[in-house]
Amino acid sequence: MIDTTLFWAFTLLYVAMTLFLGYLGFKRTKASEDFMLAGRHIHPWIIGLSYGATFISTSAIVGFGGTAALYGMGLIWLAMLNISVGVLLAFVVFGKRTRVLGTKLKAVTFPDLMGKRFKSPFMQYASAVIILIAMPLYAAAVLIGGSRFVETALGVDYNLALIAFAAITAVYVTLGGLKAVMYTDAMQGIIMLVGMVVLLFLTFSLLGDPVTAFTKLSNLSPSIPTSLSSKGMTSWTAFPTFGSEIWLTVVTTIIMGVGIGVLAQPQLVVRFMTAKDNKALNRAIPIGALFILLTTGVAYTVGPLTNVYFSETTGKIAIAAAGNVDKIMPLYIESAMPELFVVIFMLVLLAAAMSTLSAIFHTMGTTAGYDLWSHVKRVRSVEGYDKPSLNANKAGTFVMIVLSVGLAYLMPDGIIARATAMFMGLCACAFLPAFVHGLFSKSPSTLAAKLSLGLGGVTWFFWTFFVHIKESSILGVCKFLTGQDAILGMPWQVVDPMVIALPVSIIALVVGWVYETRLPESEAKANGGTGAD
Amino acid sequence: MLGIDDPWILAGYGLAIGFTLICIVYGWWKRNEEDGEED
């Protein structure tokens, strides 16, 4: 347990800075476009830091760091995908086009962009509904991650930590909108960067230079429990055996699910629309890439090395010492690091949790307040058509925050990394093919987009509820209807829903597109029409 | 090599650092890029 005076001094300073930046955002938020898109003229450095801080949450540090402690250093491939796909491809290919289209169509949210690009209210509503179903899962996972650390390291009651997290974030998101979110993200991103770099250096100073530390980790292979070795785990410094159960989990769920799913995450897509021009996006790319390397790269390196620390100090590997994947990183910090760093790392996790939470809360709020509530109201009443309600967005944000906190109490332990992967996988399956089609096709097909979103989403839900055993056994729907946890046997039970649903979504898009392009123009429009400009 | 058993892990580190460098070079190189004509 650490010195409480030190803890409270740092915490109060951090909260004061957060609220001050939130207040700046509030003062500069005059209209709905400020609340939803930060006025479309955010500084490149803030875009880069905000993108990174939103992308990397406590899930990445606590959840995936703990998962790396369990499954080994193969997760570094996730960091590689986070940078190559999540930053380079996302900014250069997707970001610029998203910004141009968003400005041209006057889109203010991700569902709004989908609806306007395909000239289809269905696309807007369906995207909004998927966001409102899946995003609270992610929000709850982030809340749990931050609260667990505070509980483990500081002895603060878990429920109190969870409520405090949500309440402080709620204040500045609800009042200051995206400006407050991005200003605070930048400050939080800097804290995360500094903290993670220090964590890496302290870990190597504790365990020896990198070669010594990695050699010690390799030499721990005989300590791998049978429960893991029988499923393909051979070493913490090697990939699991190709095609084994753990290999499938690591590659399909963790690396691909999160690595690819990032491209169509609504809260990240919106950040591209806050840039004034392409210059701003280009200048944000180095900041974003360095940020991801120094946060995820450190988490996926230090995570496995915790096995060396726990083995030397307790004679147990990390999972045995902590008892739960989500408790490995907090326990390591609390027991191995100097007192001052425990406080700093608590700020890192507070910052990571708040930056991601605020983005999720903001996205859910604008989706509920604008894409559903305001839009439905506008359709019924022409009055106020071009004036999305600021109050509706604020009310929507508040309601979704309350729902997420409720869900955090219901979700089981050890769920952080899995819930994150679920959210990102669903985003990829439901949104990615249609989003890519909408961005890059000169005549995007509405029918193709509807088929892709619908079939991709339905397939993902089906596989999650009835086949992928880690979710289906917890959700219980399959057991209730069929008497068994999953309707298919191995290896299907460990194949991530995204591996099945994303190809279905892509095929549906291609079939719909080909079908619509072969129809006469009048018939195509009668069938839902092409969204061509 | 470097105490790590598997060349795939080393490749993962190499690619992660390599892509970061590409991002830095690209961002610097295109820092003054004007917006093109797009529909």
A131-175 pLDDT, tens digit each:
988 888 888 888 887 787 777 666 778 888 888 888 888 888 888
Average pLDDT, chain A: 84
Give A200→chain B minimum CA distance, Å. 15
Give B26→chain A minimum CA distance, Å. 7
**Structure token pair of residue A76:** 């570094």
How many whole angstroms separate alpha carbon A349 and alpha carbon A326?
A: 13
User: In this structure, are A456 and A384 located in the same domain?
Assistant: no
Task: Tell me whether A279 touches chain B (CB under 8 Å).
Answer: yes
- Pairs of residues, one from chain A and one from chain B, whose beta carbons lie less than 8 Å apart: 115
Residue among A172, A193, A190 at smallest CA distance from A18: A172
How many whole angstroms separate alpha carbon A343 and alpha carbon A334?
A: 9
Task: Tell me whether A297 touches chain B (CB under 8 Å).
Answer: yes
Residue A215 located in a structural domain: no
Task: Tell me whether A257 touches chain B (CB under 8 Å).
Answer: no
User: In this structure, are A125 and A193 located in the same domain?
Assistant: yes
Nearest to A238 among B6, B33, B36 (CB): B6
Residue A218 located in a structural domain: no
**What's the pLDDT band for B14 if we cut at 50, 70, 90?**
very high
* Pairwise pLDDT comparison (A370 vs B12), residue with the higher score: B12
Interchain proximity B35–A238, CB inside 8 Å: no
Domain count within chain A: 2
* Pairwise pLDDT comparison (A62 vs B27), residue with the higher score: B27
Residue A18 located in a structural domain: yes
Interchain proximity B12–A79, CB inside 8 Å: yes
3-state secondary structure of A242: coil
Size of chain B, expressed as the number of residues it contains = 39
How many whole angstroms separate alpha carbon A473 and alpha carbon A407?
A: 18
Residue A239 located in a structural domain: no
A413 CA to centre of own chain? 18
Interchain proximity B34–A279, CB inside 8 Å: yes
Which runs of consecutive H residues, i.e. helices, occur in A155-277? Answer: 158-207, 210-218, 226-229, 245-248, 257-261, 266-272
Residue A435 located in a structural domain: no
User: In this structure, are A511 and A410 located in the same domain?
Assistant: no
Residue A386 located in a structural domain: yes
3-state secondary structure of A120: coil
Which domain range does residue A445 map to? 441-533
Task: Tell me whether A288 touches chain B (CB under 8 Å).
Answer: yes
pLDDT reported for residue A523: 63
Residue among A417, A431, A426 at smallest CA distance from A500: A426
User: In this structure, are A409 and A455 located in the same domain?
Assistant: no
With both helix axes pointing from N to C terminus, report the angle between A416-440 and A64-71 in degrees, rounded to the nearest 10. 110
Looking at chain A from residue 438 to 467, which residues have their Cβ under 8 Å from any Cβ of chain B? 442
User: In this structure, are A411 and A488 located in the same domain?
Assistant: no
pLDDT reported for residue A452: 94
Residue A423 located in a structural domain: no
User: In this structure, are A301 and A403 located in the same domain?
Assistant: yes
Residue among A131, A134, A137, A143 at smallest CA distance from A58: A143
Q: Residue A46 to residues A11, A183, A257, A281: CA-CA distances in angstroms?
A: 23, 7, 27, 11
User: In this structure, are A74 and A113 located in the same domain?
Assistant: yes
Which residue among A381, A401, A416 closes a domain?
A416
pLDDT reported for residue A388: 59
A350 CA to centre of own chain? 16
What CATH number did the domain enclosing A46 receive?
Answer: 1.20.1730.10
User: In this structure, are A479 and A403 located in the same domain?
Assistant: no
A94-112 pLDDT, tens digit each:
998 998 898 888 888 899 8
pLDDT reported for residue A219: 92
**A530 φ, ψ to 5°?**
-85, 145
User: In this structure, are A353 and A401 located in the same domain?
Assistant: yes
Q: What is the DSSP string of A356-424?
A: HHHHHHHHHHHIIIIIIIIHHHHHH--TTTT---HHHHHHHHHHHHHHHHHHHHHSPTT-HHHHHHHHH
Task: Tell me whether B37 touches chain A (CB under 8 Å).
Answer: no
How many whole angstroms separate alpha carbon A106 and alpha carbon A33?
A: 10
B13 to chain A: which residues are within 8 Å by CB?
76, 297
User: In this structure, are A397 and A474 located in the same domain?
Assistant: no
Identity of the residue numbered A111: P
Nearest to A239 among B8, B15, B30 (CB): B8
User: In this structure, are A315 and A455 located in the same domain?
Assistant: no
The answer, yes or no, to whether the previous bond of A491 is cis (omega within 30 of 0) is yes
Owner of token pair 């530390």? A213
Cα torsion angle, A181, A405, A259, A229, sign: positive
Could you tell me which residues are beta bridge partners of residue A445? Answer: A530
Contact A117, A101 (CB under 8 A): yes
- The CA angle A519-A520-A525, to the nearest 5 degrees, is 85
pTM summary value: 0.84
User: In this structure, are A119 and A183 located in the same domain?
Assistant: yes
